[in-house]
Structure 1
Amino acid sequence: MHRTIFTTPVVNTVLRAFSVGFLRLTGWKLDGALPAGQDKCVLIAAPHTSNWDLPYTLMVAFALRLNIYWMGKAQIFRFPFGPVMRWLGGIAVQREKSSNLVAASADAIKAADGPLQLVVPPEGTRSKTRYWKTGFYWIAVTAEVPIVMAYMDYARKLSGLGPVFVPTGDIEADMAQIKAFYAPFKGKNASQFDHA
């Protein structure tokens, strides 16, 4: 995978200190840590309801010493923002050509030399959506890595890493269990988050 802000020496140390300080100053609390032996995993990013989710996610990742990559729609990677977005850990996704996205993402996780946490929002969009996409689930199954349930609750100013979830292959039962975990959390635009 490409070099990111998290793997750039000196810069990552400075930004980690800034992130910890900013989150503390603004009243955010962090909970949980990446479990031992889970350096490669898929992180669910939910609720995802605002553009503010990205900067907060980056700061939380620094504070928790993660090495994240995240998926974003291809439009935000257009010139002149592309190099910056990739440096922030972004991977451009062509939504209309996402048929091989699961396989490509799983291959990237397997091939990575070192820790890699792939952040995938199950809603697939910041807009209100009734159904969660299952890409994050199949990426984890294909890459043979666990899912870590990451969350950001704006109402309580609480963010962190929840339990590890190992997919069973019974997607209906697994998705019901995952959605139940996220039921209490409120995104920045809470009315747009539907965990039903």
Structure 2
Amino acid sequence: MTIHETIVIRTLVRWLALLVFKCAGWTSEGRKPDLPRYVIIAAPHTSNWDFIFTLCLAFIYRLNAVIMMKDAWFRWPLGPLFRWLGALPIDRSGANQVVAQSIAKFHQRDRLVLVVPPSGTRKRVLHWKTGFYHIANGAGVPIVLGFLDYRRKVGGFGPVVQPRGDLDADMAVIRAFYRDISGKYPLKESQQCIAPSVSPPAAG
């Protein structure tokens, strides 16, 4: 059971999330997509605070989301807590396996919101990983552009992008949206371009 399945606690945590946002001087922006299934990008990702604010936004918007996180965070005693919050441990060494398993989860569920940080880490990397795109394209679901803009202290939902199988063209649309959005540590921000580190899983 996750926190999203516990109605009373979920309501209390939503009020706490609203309080955290208000005390930190943040506001939310955009509307939650009225879609049953999609991949949502969590970007930019440069700080551990990103996870806290992303969780706050999930509760504020009443978003029953599964958040991909590095598996190292799931060691005792934090592992059970993160799972209860709806987080999913990811072994980045098996990227193609993660893509295939994520696509399978979408095919098995009528409703699923999967949060993926495209940089894969809060450290600076040269390129975004393409796993989020291959998951969405393989599952036939849209990509929602979620964001945390530390310059304006605003987080929320941006446009919805339906992947067409043309990675370069679709990434051009995504890059245009994130061009003016700043992470907590701008020098750690990854270039919003793709790296050929993840290929689509084989059919069958």
TM-score, length of structure 1 as denominator length: 0.93
- Deviation at 1:127? 0.5
Count of residues in Structure 1 that have an aligned counterpart in Structure 2: 192
Moved more, 15-24 or 38-47: 15-24
Structure 1 residue 64 displacement after superposition: 1.0
1:1-196 alignment, distance < 5 Å: 3-36=1-34, 38-113=35-110, 115-193=111-189, 194-195=191-192
User: Which letter does structure 2 place at the counterpart of 1:56?
Assistant: F
1: CA distance, partners of 2:114 / 2:192: 21
Structure 1 unaligned segments of length 5 or more: list them: none
Q: CA deviation at 1:168?
A: 1.0
Task: Letter of the 2:55 partner, please give it.
Answer: L
Report the secondary structure of 2:22's partner residue.
helix
CA contact (8 A) 2:67 2:116 kept: yes
* Deviation >3 Å, runs of 4+: none
Percent identity for Structure 1 against Structure 2: 45
2: CA distance, partners of 1:102 / 1:72: 14
- In structure 2, give the amino acid aligned to 1:9: I
Q: State how far apart, in whole Å, the 2-side matches of 1:118 and 1:125 are.
A: 17
Does structure 1 conserve the Cα–Cα contact (< 8 Å) formed by 2:42 and 2:115?
yes
Extract unaligned runs of 5+ from structure 2: 194-204
- Does the 8 Å CA contact 2:95/2:131 hold for their aligned counterparts? no
TM-score (norm 2): 0.89
In structure 2, give the amino acid aligned to 1:61: A
- Note the C-alpha offset of 1:129: 1.1
**Deviation string for 1:86-110 (max 9, x for gaps)?**
1111111111122211110111123
Structure 2 residue identity aligned to 1:90? A
Deviation per CA, 1:41-99: give whole Å up to 9, x if none: 10001000000111110001111111111111111112222211111111111111222
Shift of 1:6: 2.2
Q: Which amino acid aligns with 1:58?
A: L
- CA RMSD between the two structures: 1.3
Q: CA deviation at 1:175?
A: 1.1
